[in-house]
Amino acid sequence: AQSVTQLGSHVSVSEGALVLLRCNYSSSVPPYLFWYVQYPNQGLQLLLKYTSAATLVKGINGFEAEFKKSETSFHLTKPSAHMSDAAEYFCAVSGGLTGGGNKLTFGTGTQLKVEL
Amino acid sequence: NAGVTQTPKFRILKIGQSMTLQCTQDMNHNYMYWYRQDPGMGLKLIYYSVGAGITDKGEVPNGYNVSRSTTEDFPLRLELAAPSQTSVYFCASRLGGVNQPQHFGDGTRLSIL
């Protein structure tokens, strides 16, 4: 069984400030972790993924995430927020070979607001 | 490269009507998925398919049916529309391999009145 918890359904930051979106996971097998972004009226786009090759993962648009096994976390960060980062962000976990179809379990999402 | 294409983008149905949401992908992906997205709930898996002719239930399959006769297409059928099926529906596909990400369509926004 696997699950994802995203702390904070809404996060607001000032333009140029650090962005930190939290994700904690639970998985009975070594997890594969993903962050997706969803802009209004669009589908989800992959930001980055963790696949055990490196604990610090760099993604698109300046985002990165660090896998911490001891904390079961995969928090998403960006040093300096831009207005264009305003969107909803989803953390997701895959249980690898278990579960058939390598299904993803999604968190409930965090809406990021960027203010001037 | 079109990726994952969903039609229609918007639809309003009356209670009890039926309809098919279309999904097609041109990336030759074996794995395909249908999700529904409700405010504050994230995405819930309805059905998935690991290849042509093979489908299986996800977390919330009741009220829906799917078929997968070709690699490209994975339609989702609502037989008797109910207000609880008002949602945004997303189709996704991916390559095989445990670390492959899913690629999403732009969604179908469905209202049942």
Q: How far apart are CA A69 and CA A56, in angstroms?
A: 12
Q: Is B98 on the interface with A (CB under 8 A)?
A: yes
pLDDT confidence of residue B69: 96
Q: Is B88 on the interface with A (CB under 8 A)?
A: no
**A43 contacts B106? CB cut-off 8 A:** yes
Question: B111: closest CA among B91, B90, B82?
Answer: B82
Q: How far apart are CA B94 and CA A12, in angstroms?
A: 32
Q: What does the radius of gyration of chain B's CA atoms come to, in whole angstroms?
A: 13
Looking only at the bridges linking them, the beta strands covering B87-94 and B31-38 are: antiparallel
Chain B residues in contact with A46 (beta carbon < 8 A): 101-103
C-alpha distances (whole Å) from A109 to each of A5, A9, B4, B80, B89 are 9, 6, 22, 30, 16
Chain B residues in contact with A107 (beta carbon < 8 A): 42
Q: What is the largest CA-CA distance in chain B?
A: 41
pLDDT confidence of residue A96: 55
Q: Is B39 on the interface with A (CB under 8 A)?
A: no
Residue that has been written with the tokens 């445990």 in this structure: B98
Q: How far apart are CA A31 and CA B2, in angstroms?
A: 30
Chain A residues in contact with B51 (beta carbon < 8 A): none
pLDDT confidence of residue A94: 85
C-alpha distances (whole Å) from B81 to each of B15, B47, B68, B74, B113 are 5, 17, 21, 19, 9
pLDDT confidence of residue B57: 94
pLDDT tens for chain B, 113 residues: list them: 689 999 999 999 999 999 999 999 999 999 999 999 998 888 999 999 999 999 999 999 999 999 999 999 999 999 999 999 999 999 999 998 778 899 999 999 999 99
Helix (H) and strand (E) counts in chain B: 0, 11
pLDDT confidence of residue B1: 67
pLDDT tens for chain A, 116 residues: list them: 788 999 999 999 999 999 999 999 988 777 889 999 999 889 999 999 998 778 899 999 999 999 999 999 999 999 999 999 999 999 999 865 545 567 889 999 999 999 99
Residue B109's contacts (CB-CB under 8 Å, 6 or more residues apart) are B9, B10, B11, B88
pLDDT confidence of residue A53: 76
Which residue among A9, A32, A107 places its CB closest to the CB of B99?
Answer: A32
Q: Where are the alpha helices (DSSP H) in chain B?
A: none
C-alpha distances (whole Å) from A45 to each of A50, A89, B14 are 15, 10, 32
Q: Is A42 on the interface with B (CB under 8 A)?
A: yes
